[in-house]
Structure 1
């Protein structure tokens, strides 16, 4: 018999005869009531077992985490809080389940404990909800760009180019590490490596994406990226997913419009399609914050915060204006900031970004026109010669969620910037070709997908919104 998803049974408009459901036992109480979940919804369906006619050996094997198949009738529930339940006529245990050793018992577990059991944590309500929201957001990303006529481009994961110029990249090699080939000068001979040159895992698909935008008009990438940054914070991962659109003929204002419209679309899509999961996560967040000091609690419940982003224009502020605000702010004057803002040109930290969003403007903020010396080489230089057409979108609780810019389309200016930063022109000859042949104004941005999921789910640690987090000293599972 073909089984029916729990979500469909709970959404049924009528009682049903002879249905089959399969899933995992969340709880089993009084030797009669199974709370069954199959991952299709955060809600369990109650299954009422005929314990008088079920062998004791079978009843003993119905434990938390066990996979079972139940066949019976979908009837109106006699209990409160649910419309239907299954009166079980036949019950089958589908696999072994060691009740004493199964880590995900029906009790509250710490997030750290759940990270240590990342292969099983998705069986909890919280992580089931998070991963369903992540899936819906992923679909929304593609839905938005496809509806707008963007072309989806798969940029390389292995690359010889460092888009950020930061050097914090994972090297890719097939050379024997215990016997590295050397040149006459004593350096590693990468000509004998698999690709014949020094290569790394990509930190961004932007540079390759630009080449396609110069032919297809508007493209987007959405794939894994990697940074070998030795940072053990709640906002950083070594492996994460990036969304990167690139659009020919768009200037910085167009870029800001696109980013704001995109974010509002995907957030609304999640709210419209993940109602039960988001309500659960909102309740979880409220309970979690009861133990925090009042000053550390969220000013808005989760769904209200998401609605606030969807329904309000993002405030657009120049870097210069933002620095003036920060320099004159109370936490800066009283030296409450870890990084004090004394002068124009400072690289803003998360504490500054969150102050602007959460305390000063009380809405999402787009900062633009940053100092050239704290931004990447490919960003278009302004007429003042000291700022670039860069933009960052700042969100409450997150800080920077989007970084982008109008790209430097002028060949001579780009070459001069590369020389000043010591970037090898020969390594990026193909990138410079896009400025030699048919160059045009174009812009793009990058959005870290996990930071988007973090914001939408209300979680506070980025390791809890990706299936298997990769961080310094951690590549388990």
Structure 2
């Protein structure tokens, strides 16, 4: 008999129908000549109650299974007499697919998130992480659907690269050379003898390659893993994370902001419409007021102000910030939150940042003090999206690379797009895990990615 997911059984199977369900035991209660099992297969937040009576084969073995055991159940779906559940399964056959020892760590109690990180191989079976990873899956689909509906091409950019897009030198080295005795040319490592014939690392961004495709397909996006060897052991940093990076040809900064607003609003609305059960859990257990926050953002007006205006308004606020607010310094999270929560009262785009704090590829504005960059700030988080119009002028781009300490010849292929058919183009990056933190209320990036990679930790 074909297995039905518990989500389908709870969502639409009529009482009286024979069903086959398989899953893991969340709880087991034994009464006089009866056993109640809460069975969950991960397809939804709710568990299905299975009622087992002594007339099934091997009743005594079933009554002794431990929490975490895996069962296959065949039985009739009936209306439940108990409050709080629509239906339950009256078991006719129960097969123990895999029993669980008594020391199974996920017992019926609330475990700390820190403890659950130590058992990342089992934490997907918990209520919290079941909800997190179902929402992560749903949002992945929504991202692809958003861009597909708008005619964007999905591009798989390389994970191994010889170029540091951000120029911060925080790349993980990829090499086959003997670390204890590498070949050398004089006092320097002979990278030409390495596997790829040059120094390579894990990508920090797919943007540069994405720009190449935008000059052929107009509108593209990337969605894949990126890596940064930044030794920041904070709740907001991970060494491996996923990025969504659209790129549009024939677009300026205003077009970039419009796409970012549409994108974020679409994902928030999609989450509200398709992940209601899991969001209700987050709203109750993780962040009180989460649903109100998301519903407000879904219909909010997105304001825009320049970086210079933001600095002036922060300085005029009289607020005693931990970090100084001066023109030329990057805005900190406390400044971004103050802008959204106290000054604007909603999401805001901050545009036209000083040249000195932004990357070489951002388009230089006419006064040559600022670049056509934008950050989208939202309440409670601060920056959630960062983007820019790209520098399409060959001579200006070459000058900006030199000023940033980048040898133009090292990116000759990138510069070629400015030689042959250059056009205005723009794009942005959205860290997927940062988005998930916002949508779930989870406060640590380690809790929205299946197997976090952080300084000192690469387990599982």
Does the CA-based 8 Å contact 2:136-2:436 persist in structure 1?
yes
Aligned to 1:204: 205
Deviation digits for residues 422-463 of structure 1, max 9, x if unmatched? 101111000000111111110000000011111111111111
- Aligned equivalents of 1:350, 1:284: Cα separation in 2: 25
User: Is it true that 1:93 corresponds to 2:96 in the alignment?
Assistant: yes
User: Is it true that 1:338 corresponds to 2:322 in the alignment?
Assistant: yes
- Aligned equivalents of 2:401, 2:386: Cα separation in 1: 20
User: Is it true that 1:377 corresponds to 2:380 in the alignment?
Assistant: no
Aligned to 1:183: 185
1:399 shift after superposition: 1.7
- Residues 377 and 71 of structure 1, relative CA distance in 2, 3 Å threshold: same
SS of 1:30 mapped into structure 2: strand
SS of 1:86 mapped into structure 2: strand
1:106 shift after superposition: 1.1
Aligned to 1:442: 425
- Aligned equivalents of 1:66, 1:330: Cα separation in 2: 59
1:92 shift after superposition: 1.2
Aligned to 2:272: 271
Does the CA-based 8 Å contact 1:61-1:97 persist in structure 2?
no
Aligned to 1:291: none
Aligned to 2:121: 119
- Residues 36 and 83 of structure 1, relative CA distance in 2, 3 Å threshold: same
- Aligned equivalents of 1:313, 1:374: Cα separation in 2: 28
Structure 1 residue corresponding to 2:383, chosen from 372, 393, 400: 400
1:54 shift after superposition: 5.8
Does the CA-based 8 Å contact 1:2-1:20 persist in structure 2?
yes
SS of 1:467 mapped into structure 2: coil
1:55 shift after superposition: 4.2
SS of 1:307 mapped into structure 2: helix
Aligned to 2:156: 154
- Aligned equivalents of 2:415, 2:28: Cα separation in 1: 65
- Residues 61 and 30 of structure 1, relative CA distance in 2, 3 Å threshold: closer
- Aligned equivalents of 1:57, 1:330: Cα separation in 2: 71
Map 1:128-167 onto structure 2 (within 5 A): 128-167=130-169
Deviation digits for residues 221-261 of structure 1, max 9, x if unmatched? 00000000000111111000000000001000000000000
Structure 1 residue corresponding to 2:292, chosen from 304, 307, 311: 304
Does the CA-based 8 Å contact 2:79-2:87 persist in structure 1?
yes
1:281 shift after superposition: 1.1
Aligned to 1:327: 315
1:328 shift after superposition: 2.1
Aligned to 2:399: 416
User: Is it true that 1:462 corresponds to 2:434 in the alignment?
Assistant: no
Deviation digits for residues 10-62 of structure 1, max 9, x if unmatched? 11252133321110011011351111110110001111110465646413542
- Aligned equivalents of 1:66, 1:362: Cα separation in 2: 49
Would you say how many aligned residue pairs link Structure 1 and Structure 2? 457
- Aligned equivalents of 1:256, 1:2: Cα separation in 2: 48
Deviation digits for residues 372-428 of structure 1, max 9, x if unmatched? 100000000111110000000112222211110000001001111111111011110
Does the CA-based 8 Å contact 2:62-2:96 persist in structure 1?
no
Does the CA-based 8 Å contact 2:437-2:443 persist in structure 1?
yes
Structure 1 residue corresponding to 2:81, chosen from 78, 88, 106: 78
Aligned to 2:254: 253
TM-score by length of 2: 0.97
Aligned to 1:294: none
- Residues 362 and 51 of structure 1, relative CA distance in 2, 3 Å threshold: farther
TM-score by length of 1: 0.94
User: Is it true that 1:50 corresponds to 2:33 in the alignment?
Assistant: no
- Residues 96 and 165 of structure 1, relative CA distance in 2, 3 Å threshold: same
- Residues 378 and 256 of structure 1, relative CA distance in 2, 3 Å threshold: same
- Residues 30 and 60 of structure 1, relative CA distance in 2, 3 Å threshold: closer
- Aligned equivalents of 2:53, 2:237: Cα separation in 1: 50
Does the CA-based 8 Å contact 2:66-2:99 persist in structure 1?
no
CA RMSD of superposed structures (Å): 1.3
- Aligned equivalents of 2:404, 2:204: Cα separation in 1: 18
- Aligned equivalents of 2:345, 2:46: Cα separation in 1: 35
Which ranges in structure 1 are unaligned for 5 or more consecutive residues? 287-297
Ranges of 4+ aligned residues in structure 1 off by more than 6 Å: none
Which ranges in structure 2 are unaligned for 5 or more consecutive residues? none
1:314 shift after superposition: 1.2
Deviation digits for residues 307-342 of structure 1, max 9, x if unmatched? 11110121111101111121122333xxxx22121x
SS of 1:142 mapped into structure 2: helix
Structure 2 residue corresponding to 1:103, chosen from 93, 102, 105: 105
- Aligned equivalents of 2:298, 2:425: Cα separation in 1: 26
